[in-house]
Structure 1
Amino acid sequence: MLTFIYSLLPFLRWSKDVNQETLKADVMAGITGAILVLPQGVAYALIAGLPPEFGLYTAIVSATFASFFGSSMHMISGPTAALSIVAATVITSVTADISVDNSAVDYITLMITLTFMVGVIQLALGFLNFGVLVNFISHSVVQGFTSGAAVIIAASQMKNLLGFQVESNGTLMSYIMGVLDNIKETNITALSIGLVTVAIAFMFKRYVKRVPYLLGAMVLGALLCFLIDGAVKGVFLLDELSGTLPPFRLPSFDSDVLSVLLSGAFAVALLGLIEAASIARSIAMRSKQQIEGNQEFIGQGVSNVIGGFLSCYPSSGSFTRSGGNYDAGAKTPLASLFSALLVILFVLFIPSITRFIPVPVMAGSIIVITWNLFDVKGFIETLKSEKAEVITFLGTFVCTLCIQLEFAIYVGVLISIGCYLHKTSRPKVTLVAPLVSDEGKRRIRNVARYALQECPEVKMIRVDGSIFFGSSEHLQKSLQGLGDKGHDKVIVISKGINFIDATGQHMLINEIERIEKKGGRIIFSSLKGNVCDDLEKTELKNQLDDDRLFDTTSQAISDMIQHISAESCTACTSRVFHDCPVIKKRQRCTL
């Protein structure tokens, strides 16, 4: 019962550890978190196509509920760059499909409806114990999608940097064409302010560590705009904040709206969970905390469901703010509550401050964020990985640039699964031979790697991988290839075989019959105990028990050399099987 209560109210686990010392540490971490989220929340709201206060509303609600109902002690949730652009793309792409009165379902209503649906999906996955689901999303998919989203976000801000408006459908090409069509309308003053903001941000990040680089760049960029009378020269400024707490607002429950948003909502929910789970695990590696995947699903779901009624858009864990929270010395999730309270004070008492921030300054700040999101070093390192990882990464990256973002993540997952299935369907078959050490011990080693001689009569192979319906044909062709080269005596070292399904069993029985029908012999060694247990009472196990399965490779070799005839060894000079009676008799092998 206690475990069940803790799963519903996980904050009861750590609340008993709160004391004066932890409260002091959490307050200081909360101040740091508030400073970090203020510029980011405004910037991400603009990426999502929303008024700036919506980013702060999301930071307030999500940070509180996700922390209290999740399992991580340090992860901070709220608006993120990737989810902002994906949510904006989803809403933009379905606007034309809404067959209801647009005055009743405007952009903001669609966005909070999306938030509510994302929360419901995440809660369902959490309660159904689908926390393991994120393990099927490879790192290459996440990195490819994140890199592509960074490029899309940067492209979406070019119009704000250049000082004009363009229409787009959320793809890279639409942003590029929109900019090229309106390039003559570029406002040089706006462009200059934006570029200076970018330069200042990079300088602060590298040389002024004590000041949050985004905050410093925004303040100095706004000051520059004021000094050169940017507003008079056509530079747009942000709107003033509403100055109110997150207002209660009902999402739409219209069936048409819910149906067209469903596919996008699932993609956003999945991406949000991947982000949150990855960040929670990353921070937990530093804090030595154990993370419960399903509890994180529930925490994200609760925050988005509640956010759907409090004017929030989809949120997830933030790597920047989570890392900052841990580095600032946070002890409990109360740090996220203190951060949210400080943001509330900012919204209530200094709402007019945003009207002094130029749009090009925000565009420059967002471009800096995307540069950090792109991770050039990680991009290059991934291109040096194995072929399957490169294909998955580049496939996801290109799809993110060329198609709607909510579908790009699906394509990336399919590519990743396809590469995995291709790899598992081709179990590695390695030619091996005995290598005798100076102490006289026989070790089985890779023929190609150690340049070993093979016995001309017996072929030894090691199979690494499972034998199932997807890999049986590949392994069968490998065995038949050995027969085609005249090797009718085969030893299969099976220590790398994890399981054999019905199709694999049928294939091996056929190969045993085919080889022995030709007068040859095939035997197996070192089959795992759990595989033998699974094969109990099967026809294949009966075949193996009939003097075709040996516990060790040495036993298999000793049995096989008894079947080598003197005639076939007349010309043998390979000196591989040193205990072969024919070789010993003819004294050709000093081993």
Structure 2
Amino acid sequence: MDYCELPLPEGPWRKAVQAAPRFLPFLSWLPDVSARSLKADLWAGLTGAVIVLPQGVAFAAIAGLPPQYGLYAAMVPVIIAALFGSSMHLVSGPTTAISLVILANVSHFAEPGSAEYIRLVLTLTLLAGMFQLGLGLARLGAVVNFVSHSVVTGFTAGAAILIATSQLGGFFGVEMPGGGGVWASWRHLLTHLPQSNPRVLGLGVFTMLVVLAVRRLNPRLPALLLAMVAASLAAALLDGASHGVRLVGALPASLPPLSLPLPGFDEVRQLVPGALAIAMLGLAEAVSIARAVAVRSQQRIDNSQEFIGQGLANVVGSFFSAYASSGSFTRTGLNFEAGAKTPLAAVFSALLLAAIVLLVAPLTAHLPLAAMSGVILLVAANLVDLDGIRHILRTDKSEAGVLAVTFLATLFVQMEFAIFCGVILSLLMYLKRTSHPGFTVLAPDPDSLRRPLVNVERKPVPECPQLKILRLDGSIFFGAATHISEELHRIMNTFPEQCHILIVGSGINFIDATGCRMLYDEALSLKLSGRDMFFCGLKSEVREVLERGLCLKRLGGRHIFDTEAEAIARMVPRLDPERCACCHTRVFRECEHMPGGEHYQPLGGTSV
């Protein structure tokens, strides 16, 4: 029986059962697990477990930790993040960026690799997890809504190139310099390409061809895992080890030991800045990766729940000798490409990794690094959303700029800064749009019986020579007040003969004190020059602010009307009768009652 179909108890237990999926999110997808999904998740988990073996060792070295700590970070935290997060495909674990930040923060206080260093790293992980968990429980996941699709697309494309670049040495059998950027790595590869090992390159290409062939013959088979097994057999048949083919090597066979990372006051003071940086970096990485994959899997992500999952993963993981983890682009992309259906794939990945480390760690020594590099290159290629990039470039130049900046920042600046850079640029563009609301000139449509007000730019219709009707599309707040004032002055100077202005306020969502003052100043300026400003269609909240700000009282008389029809009916009699007598436009029905109206037929219909 489905969890949602279970009969709910009465009383306080009913609310507890209804709230259970929020605190135990795995209850929402666990009933959907089937034999078919279990099989797919098991194969995807096995593939991920094999891939993370050499990666975990490499990331631990980057963080200044013994190699086994990279494997520990890919066990317990992965399970916790999968069960308590919201993404169906996100796989957590050690990452390059967080490993670098850890080394930069903790190396000031202890020698990398020492027992004190390990203790401080685990303490740092606990603090970072507490920050993340607090943000999630406070339901502050909405802050990452400012990470637009353009930012995610650009970040994903840049990360894919970085991932591919990191695998070039292993794929071609060329020693790559450490610490170089993208251009330096590619330049080094091109200059040393004649020195590449043909057997290594052949194994890498062979692995990729096997993946493509298996996917073409039977997409349900674990193509990536089968390709790595085939490459291992090929390396053994070719005696690759004696011809320069590098293998993963034997790994330590041990499970994560328990730890007690309880910090003292001085340690908290020293580690809090770094813990906060790691917490924000980890959240930005995890949510961005989860959203990037969710676009392809058509899934909705709960940002706050993802915060909770990442926070719990680091808090619990720190007691199992796991250093700070986050979402992994490589393993998440690999998980999705391998056919994972539920978060159980990540759980299986962690459990199978533990089993591999315990039982078959010596066998992993036969896996060639070139095979792993070939698999990761295919995963990186699939991370680039070409259709999404073309859509953004075609649709919006501003968003295209955000995409380009995020992409370049990911390549040439620190990866963690790239997301913040894209977000800041998106916010600046958002502020520019909201602070530059536009005025739309309206006039009655003579071709419609109801005479609705239409945009004169889209449909050229005659305007009243004395009354200018404008619709303001945007809110009036301190950031937009100056722009609105300048636009009003421009319109008044361009059309000085239209002595009255009617502002249709249906598009004004809110107004603040600065906006209220600006409207009063503009209306007063018009009054001193013999002109007047009126409003109609204002929302109740906007009207209340104008009344509280004494704007209406200072103007005197009635300047606000409920509808456009009422406003026009009241304003037309105020127009200059001498100008109306010689006017041939007669755009309003009320014009037939003005002087000279008996000689002209109205254009028909009602005012609006």
Provide TM-score, normalisation by structure 1. Answer: 0.85
1:75 paired with 2:88, answer yes
- Find the residue that maps to 1:524 and give its secondary structure: strand
1:186-201 → structure 2 map (5 Å cutoff)? 186-201=196-211
SS at match of 1:471: helix
For 2:236 and 2:157, locate their aligned partners in 1 and report how far apart those are by CA, in whole Å: 34
Letter in structure 2 aligned against 1:176: W
1:585 corresponds to 2:595: no
Q: Deviations over 1:258-304 (max 9, x none)?
A: 36744641442232442476379769966xxx975433322221112
Q: Give CA-to-partner distance per residue, 1:396-438, whole Å, 9 cap, x none.
A: 1111111111222221111111111111110121112111454
Structure 1 position 320, deviation (Å): 5.0
Which of 451, 457, 464 is 1:442 aligned to? Answer: 451
Which residue of 2 is the match for residue 562 of structure 1? Answer: 573
Counterpart pick for 1:459 among 449, 453, 468: 468
Check conservation: 1:32, 1:324, Cα contact below 8 A: no
What SS is found at the alignment partner of 1:449? coil
Secondary structure of residue in 1 paired with 2:445: strand
Q: Deviations over 1:81-140 (max 9, x none)?
A: xx7343345356x27973543342799888766654542321121133312222222222
Q: CA separation in 2, counterparts of 1:235 and 1:14?
A: 43
1:130 to 118, 137, 140: 140
User: Paired residue for 1:310, among 321, 339, 345?
Assistant: 321
Counterpart-to-counterpart distance in 2, 1:279 and 1:405? 16
| RMSD, matched Cα | 3.8
CA shift for structure 1 position 168 = 3.8
1:483 has 2:483 as partner: no
Question: Residue 399 of structure 1 is aligned with which of 398, 409, 421?
Answer: 409
Deviations along 1:369-408, one digit per CA (max 9) or x if unpaired, are 1111122222222212323211211111111111111222
Q: Which amino acid aligns with 2:281?
A: V
Q: What residue number does 1:472 align with?
A: 481
Query: Which of 423, 447, 468 is equivalent to 1:413?
Result: 423
1:453-476 deviation digits (Å, cap 9, x = unpaired): 222322111111111111111111
Structure 2 counterpart of 1:523, from 509, 513, 534: 534
Give how far 1:517 is off.
1.1
8 Å contact kept, 1:55–1:79? no
Equivalent position SS for 2:157:
helix
Q: After the TM superposition, which residues 277-316 of structure 1 pair with which residues of structure 2 at under 5 Å, given as runs?
A: 278=291, 293-308=303-318, 309-316=320-327
Contact 1:7 1:295 survives alignment (8 Å): no
Aligned residue number for residue 507 of structure 2: 496
Residue 520 (structure 1) shift? 0.9
Query: Secondary structure of the residue that 1:246 maps to in structure 2?
Result: coil
Q: Secondary structure, in 3 states, of the residue corresponding to 2:501? A: strand
Residue 535 of structure 1: CA displacement? 3.8
Of residues 554, 559, 579 in structure 2, which corresponds to 1:548?
Answer: 559
- Alignment CA distance shift 1:11-1:31 (3 Å): farther
Work out the CA distance in 2 between the residues paired with 1:296 and 1:224: 41
The alpha-carbon distance between structure 1 residues 561 and 259, as it changes in their structure 2 partners (threshold 3 A), is same
After TM superposition, list the pairs within 5 Å mapping 1:1-80 onto structure 2. Answer: 27-28=38-39, 30-42=41-53, 44-45=55-56, 48=59, 57-70=72-85, 72=86, 75-79=88-92
TM superposition shift of 1:187 = 2.2
The answer on whether the counterparts of 1:89 and 1:169 sit within 8 Å (CA) in structure 2 is no
Say whether residues 1:151 and 2:164 are aligned partners: no
Change (3 A) 1:181 1:280: closer
Once the two structures are overlaid, the 10-residue window that deviates more, 315-324 or 83-92, is: 315-324
Distance 1:379 1:300, change over 3 A: same
Label 1:96 to 1:283 Cα distance change in 2 as closer, same or farther (>3 A). Answer: closer
What amino acid is aligned across from residue 470 of structure 1 in structure 2? G
Q: Which ranges of structure 1 fall in alignment gaps of 5 or more residues?
A: none
Tell me the CA shift for residue 245 of structure 1. 1.9
Equivalent position SS for 1:451: coil
Q: Say which SS state the counterpart of residue 405 (structure 2) adopts.
A: helix
Report the AA paired with residue 396 of structure 2.
E
The answer to whether the 8 A contact 2:210-2:227 is kept is: yes
Moved more, 43-52 or 513-522: 43-52
Q: Which moved more, 1:191-200 or 1:180-189?
A: 180-189
* AA partner of residue 379 (structure 2): I
Structure 1 residues 89 and 460: alpha-carbon distance in aligned structure 2, compared to 1, 3 A threshold:
farther
Stretch deviating more after TM superposition (126-135 or 567-576): 567-576
Name the structure 1 match of 2:170. Answer: 160
Question: 1:539–1:520: structure 2 CA closer, same or farther, 3 Å change rule?
Answer: same
CA contact (8 A) 1:515 1:522 kept: yes
**2:114 equivalent to 1:104:** yes
> Counterpart of 1:567 in 2: which secondary structure?
helix
Query: Given the alignment, which residue of 78, 95, 117 partners 1:84?
Result: 95
Q: CA deviation at 1:234?
A: 0.8
1:203-230 C-alpha deviation (Å, 9 max, x unpaired)? 4334430222321322223233233322
**How many pairs align?**
578
Q: Is the 8 A contact 1:193 1:225 kept in 2?
A: yes
For 1:7 and 1:112, locate their aligned partners in 2 and report how far apart those are by CA, in whole Å.
Answer: 33
Q: Is the 8 A contact 1:458 1:491 kept in 2?
A: yes
Shift of 1:496: 0.5
% identity of equivalent residues = 32
* Counterpart-to-counterpart distance in 1, 2:286 and 2:29: 28
Instruction: Pick the aligned partner of 1:381 from 378, 391, 394.
Output: 391
SS at match of 2:472: strand
Indicate the SS of the match to 1:462.
strand
CA displacement at 1:252 relative to structure 2: 10
Q: Is the 8 A contact 2:127 2:272 kept in 1?
A: no
> Distance between the aligned counterparts of 2:412 and 2:326, measured in 1?
24
Structure-2 change in CA distance of 1:239 and 1:460 (3 Å): same
- The 1-side partners of 2:426 and 2:28 are apart by 43
Indicate conservation of the 8 Å contact 1:89/1:404, yes or no: no
Name the stretch that deviates more: 153-162 or 255-264: 255-264
Q: What aligned pairs does 1:505-524 form with structure 2 within 5 A after superposition?
A: 505-524=516-535
Residues 273 and 84 from structure 1, CA distance in 2 versus in 1: closer, same or farther, beyond 3 angstroms? Answer: closer
Distance 1:538 1:133 in 2: 32
> Retained in 2: the 8 A contact 1:284–1:291?
no
* Partners of 1:43 and 1:453 in 2: CA distance: 74
